[in-house]
Structure 1
Amino acid sequence: MAVDVVLIVVAGTFAVVSGMNDGGALLATGLKLPSVRPATGILTLVVLVAFVPLVSHKVALAFVTRLGSFDGPGGKQAMAIAVVAALTVVTVLSNRGRPTSLTLAIVGGLTGAGLGWGLPVSWGYVALVLTVGLFSPLVGGVAAWFVTRLLLALTSSRGLRHWHVAGFALQCVAYAANDGQKMLAVFMIALGFSGAAAPYTLLVAGLFGVGALYGLPKAGRTLSREIIASRPLHGVAAELASGATVTACAALGVPVSMTQSIAGGLIGAGVTTGGGRVRWYAAVKIVVAWLLTLPASALLAGLAAFLIKGAST
């Protein structure tokens, strides 16, 4: 019973932190366009995070069953350890000025906790997730390069607003169908359900919205100002490119980080209009944080799970 209570608290905290970390990043790319107000954007995100999993929650199930067997004996303890480890690593890196991917952190945490607790871990699927995670920023960047050139040829500054609305909507759907479901996965283990009933998805979405409201100023500033000296065109191109990339991964049931895809999209769009717009020192700082996140989370979770299981037996 104590484990259940702890995991429910951890799951709620994780959803709030996901909103703080991911919500601002999703809104950041369009802050220079008035087409989607921040309040409207957060509301859109909350609604989609609540309702898209009712249509498809393949990625949530992948977090629970394909990385390791977290729906069996010891799964709740390992999941709690994985989430705490992921939050710890993300917090430490963020406080050191190295914003990172919460999705990478939870994948690392789940892998490490599974190993430390002695649960079966699917190395083939872990390798697939790592491969997709490595290439998603690159794919997002290449896609943004093409989208930027297309927008330059097809639209005016006034028409860009309509593309922004479409791009933001696509990006939100992609997030809700993919790495946004990491929150639902934790609640699946905490509350012991396997589907995606509306009461659970509404709970996740509400907690996510609280975090997004709180974290918008800081998270939004990181992507929209630090990576490139952005213009509205860059943000719209990054939205369309990252939305398409992450949606494709969701169709395959493979978790991928939206923040990574957005960052890659911003760099690709910046290079298209002149590489001097890209602040490469900031881009390198973020990439280094990505490289540290998964192994650090896996190591911390694996050690904690091994020690806690040993102490309890």
Structure 2
Amino acid sequence: MPLDTVTLTTVAALFAVVSGMNDGGALLATGLKLPSIRPATGIMTMVIMIALIPLMTHRVALTFVTKLASFEGPGAKTAMTVAVLSALSVVTFLSHRGRPTSLTLAIVGGLTGAGLGWGLTVSGRAVALVLAIGLAAPFVGALGAWVVSRLLQHLSSSTALASWHRVGFMVQCIAYAANDGQKMLAVFMIALGFSGAPLGVTSLISILFGMGALYGMPRAGRTLSREIIVSRPLHGVAAELASGVTVIVCATAGAPVSMTQSIAGGLIGAGVSQGGGRVRWYAALKIVIAWALTLPASAILAGVAAFVVKGLTS
């Protein structure tokens, strides 16, 4: 097996673990105050969905592979390696500080920067569309959570809330596996040169993700569940339902959307439904700043690194 293939495959595995660290805690965070789903059960559900959903649809993975930049030809795998490592560097830095950021933004920035630095074809239109949808997703999630929160206040008793939580969490897991989680599959597609979703590969990705989720859940989960709003179980359930539906709708169009951003927006919307004072705006602002830094930092780092590596290897 060529060295660039081995290197990119190893990086793809690392990317799946970091995705679990960053995204796994965010997926579980909204329900930490409800005992209806234990963390171990939640992680197992995520692992199963990540393994199985791409077998039915992997449109978002194909968007990453074919529409943002053309990673084909000599050196393309090396450029992809640079893109992923740059995205990982930025996200790991923020994750270790308990600031869950968007891996989708990071990988889009990394792909764009590495493509430009290596001299590959980059679709500015596709990148702009992904960014526009990604920017809109937290606001749509917030609006949806506001509506759902108001409905649940009138339609649900405290006993029924646990059932709504199970439904919301399942919707959220399906949404992640159909959309945001497919960035992991996309890297393996480039590394191993396939265009489908083999069960063996998706199973490996899901296991690596689960390992990362176990490690990163306490930090990332705490940030969303405790720092953004003075959270009540109702807020978490509303955020799950709204963010899950938002991300699934985007998946049907093959548009990558960050689950973390949608969940954060949903929590804020649910909090605002009962008064803006429940939202810790300072903590929310810090997360927004992390999002704003993620893409340009990943793009610049990847662009410079790709330019240097190509110069050294050509």
TM-score range, shorter chain: over 0.9
Superposed displacement of residue 102, structure 1: 1.1
> In the alignment, which residue of structure 1 is the partner of 2:140?
139
Letter in 2 for 1:7: L
Q: Which residue is equivalent to 1:171?
A: 172
| Counterpart position of 1:75 | 76
Find the counterpart in structure 2 of residue 5 from structure 1: 6
User: C-alpha distance in 2, partners of 1:249/1:73?
Assistant: 33
Tell me if structure 1 keeps the 8 A contact 2:68–2:123.
yes
Equivalenced residues, count: 313
Secondary structure of 1:158 counterpart? helix
d(CA) in 2 for partners of 1:72, 1:134: 32
Q: Measure how far apart 1:193 and its partner are.
A: 1.2
The SS at the match of 1:220 is: helix
Q: Which residue of 2 aligns with 1:248?
A: 249
SS in 2 for 1:196: coil
Runs of 4+ in 1 over 6 A off after TM superposition: none
Q: CA RMSD in A?
A: 1.0
CA contact (8 A) 1:137 1:262 kept: yes
Q: Could you tell me how far 1:100 is from its partner in structure 2? A: 1.1
Give the aligned residue type for 1:220.
G
Q: Distance in 2 between matches of 1:278 and 1:97?
A: 18
8 A Cα contact 1:65 1:71, kept in partner? no
Structure 1 match to 2:217: 216
Who is 1:43 aligned against? 44
- For normalisation by structure 2, the TM-score amounts to 0.98
Deviations 1:146-170, CA, capped at 9 Å, x for gaps? 0000101111111111110110000
Partner of 2:294: 293
Question: C-alpha displacement at 1:81, in angstroms?
Answer: 0.4
Distance 1:122 1:196, change over 3 A: same
Which digits, 9 at most, give the CA deviation of each residue in 1:237-296, with x for residues without a partner? 000000010001101101110000000000000000111110000000000110110011
Distance in structure 2 (CA, Å) of the matches to 1:178 and 1:50: 13
> Runs of 5+ in structure 2 lacking a partner?
none
What is the letter of the counterpart of residue 258 of structure 1?
A: M
**Deviations 1:40-89, CA, capped at 9 Å, x for gaps:** 11000000000000000000111111101124433211110011000111
Deviation per CA, 1:202-229: give whole Å up to 9, x if none.
Answer: 1111111111111111111010001001
**Residue identity matched to 2:13:** G
Give, in whole Å, the separation in 1 of the partners of 2:164 and 2:95: 32
1:103-128 residue CA offsets vs partner (Å, 9 max, x unmatched): 11011000111111111111111000
| Aligned-partner Cα distance in 2 for 1:282–1:140 | 18
Give the match for residue 56 of structure 2: 55
Supply the distance in 1 between the matched residues of 2:232 and 2:97 (Cα, whole angstroms): 27
Which residue identity does 2:243 align to in structure 1?
S
Query: TM-score when scaled to structure 1?
Result: 0.98
Matched, 1:98 2:103: no
**Partners of 1:226 and 1:164 in 2: CA distance:** 20
**Cα distance in 2 between the residues matched to 1:154 and 1:96:** 39
1:191 equivalent to 2:192? Answer yes
Are residues 1:26 and 2:27 paired? Answer: yes
Is contact 1:64–1:71 with CA below 8 Å preserved after alignment?
no
CA contact (8 A) 2:94 2:290 kept: yes
Letter in 1 for 2:115: G
2:303 aligned with 1:302: yes
5+ residue gaps, structure 1: none
Q: CA deviation at 1:97?
A: 4.9
Q: CA separation of 1:71/1:52 partners in 2, compared to 1, >3 Å: closer, same or farther?
A: farther
Q: What is the percentage of aligned positions where both structures have the same residue?
A: 72
Q: Which residue of 2 aligns with 1:281?
A: 282
The answer on whether the counterparts of 1:17 and 1:211 sit within 8 Å (CA) in structure 2 is yes
Structure 2: distance between partners of 1:148 and 1:33: 16
1:107-146 paired onto structure 2 within 5 Å: 107-146=108-147
Equivalent-residue separation in structure 1 for 2:277 and 2:74 (angstroms): 54
Letter in 2 for 1:294: L
